[in-house]
Amino acid sequence: MGHTPLPGIGVRYDLVTRERRRLSVIAHLDGSRTLNVYRRDDPDDTAVCLKLNAEEAATVVDALLPSHHSPNLLATAELGLVAERIELPSTSYWNGRVLGDTRMRTDTGVSVVAVLRRAEAIPSPGPDFRLAGGDTLIVIGTREGVGVAADILGRE
| Inter-residue contact 117 to 48 (CB < 8 Å) | no
pLDDT band at 2 (very low <50, low <70, confident <90, very high): confident
pTM for this predicted structure: 0.52
Specify the DSSP element, H or E, that contains 35: strand 33-38
* Percent of the chain surpassing pLDDT 70: 90
Residue-level pLDDT at 17: 86
> What would the mean pLDDT of 66-83 be, rounded to a whole number?
58
Q: Which CATH number describes the domain made up of 73-154?
A: 3.30.70.1450
Distance of CA 12 to the CA centre of its chain: 21
Task: Write down the pLDDT at residue 75.
Answer: 46
Short-list 142, 139, 153, CA closest to 83: 139
- Residue intervals of the chain classified under CATH 3.30.70.1450 are 73-154
Higher local confidence (pLDDT), 53 or 62: 53
Q: What is the pLDDT of residue 73?
A: 52
Name, of 79-88, 96-105, 147-156, the range with top average pLDDT.
Answer: 96-105
Whether 69 has a pLDDT exceeding 50, the answer reads no
Residue 25 burial by Cβ neighbours in a 10 Å radius (0-12, 13-18, 19+): buried
Give the C-alpha separation, 152 to 125, whole Å.
17
Average pLDDT along the chain: 85
Q: What pLDDT does 54 receive?
A: 82
